[in-house]
Amino acid sequence: MTRLAILCPGQGGQHPGMFDLALSDPATIAALAGWGMERTAGVAPHALPDSPEALHDNRIAQPLVVAATLAMWQALRADLPTPALAAGYSIGELAAYGVAGALAPADVVSLAAQRAALMDDCVGPDQPHGMLAVSGLEEAALQALLPAGALHIAIDTGEANFIVAGLRHALTELAAACEQRGVHATWLPVKVASHTPLMHAAAVKFRPLLEAATWSEPAFPLLSGTGASAVSQRGQALDALTEQIGTRIRWGACMDAIAEVGVTVALELGPGAALSRMLRDRHPHIEARSASEFRSLAGLVGWLRRRCG
């Protein structure tokens, strides 16, 4: 039996045409108009800036990514079977609650913008933050290189693959130490130390905003990014979405949980294709693809119908 998982990405895959596929559906154009993108992010889905710097500005990127994810879901959901679950990576975890119907899309976009502002407020003017992807070091060896309080493992995506976040000057030293050891380290275009204790104040202030939102019962379970456990009730969701702002994301465990419930097909809603690629690499028996790989909605729907019946 086919079991479908929906994957909701985090930041990193933004590009000027990220809404184009979803906007080929007239109903999605109408829906997007009511989500308040121009008010919350200061950009219109049909006229995104060409500048990568602008697209990766945290206050724009977070609402932009969730809106693009939800727009793709809006364009496809009538042609999909009910998913077995949805899982979101970083800000994508908030988008997943919109996909599952627990939160209205306009509320998700608004919450994403408020989340971004609270996280930006945690960055001091003289202590810039950053994120660095490190691959090729086991966790114990990596932890030994991290100065206490300044750097933290923010996300693990598999054995010897981590994202480290924290103070930028300490990340620069870590990048140099990795180079000396022949370890691959790549800077990410994110200027907040997401999923680390440096975001504790943002998490505390975000909780009341979540509590004030209108919640509905999700149509299918979601995964907690920090615990890789199923979430189906409001209280669990409040805890999960608050905790993940300042706590390490265990994406490797999330991918294992997706496999353990018998998922056979996974669709990443985009933008980007990192999650589907990681899932294929870790669990090759799952046929995982991203919406961004298709040139038309008809092609994407055709693939889904062939795989899901």
Report the chain (309 residues): mean pLDDT per 10 consecutive residues.
92 93 95 91 87 90 96 95 96 98 98 98 95 97 97 94 98 97 96 98 98 97 97 96 98 98 96 96 97 95 89
Helix pair 297-308, 58-76: axis angle to 10 deg: 60
Do 304 and 157 reside in the same domain of the chain? Answer: no
What are residue 164's DSSP bridge partners?
A: 132, 153
Whether 174 and 208 share a structural domain = no
Residues 15 and 143 in one domain: no
The whole-number pLDDT of residue 60 equals 94
Q: In DSSP terms, which residues pair with 265 in a beta bridge?
A: 4, 287
* Residue-level pLDDT at 1: 65
208 and 289 together in one domain: yes
Q: Output the pLDDT for position 23.
A: 94
Domain assignment of residue 175, given as a range: 129-188
Residue 154 and residue 25 share a domain? no
What CATH number does the domain containing 95 carry? 3.40.366.10
Torsion of CA 251, 255, 260, 265, to 10 degrees: 150
Write the CA distances from 48 to 37, 53, 64, integer angstroms. Answer: 11, 12, 10
Q: Which of 124, 8, 24, 127 has its CA nearest to residue 67?
A: 8
Please check whether residues 88 and 103 belong to one and the same domain. yes
What pLDDT is stored for residue 130 in this prediction?
A: 97
Judgement on whether residues 37 and 160 belong to the same structural domain of the protein: no
Does 273 lie in the same domain as 143? no
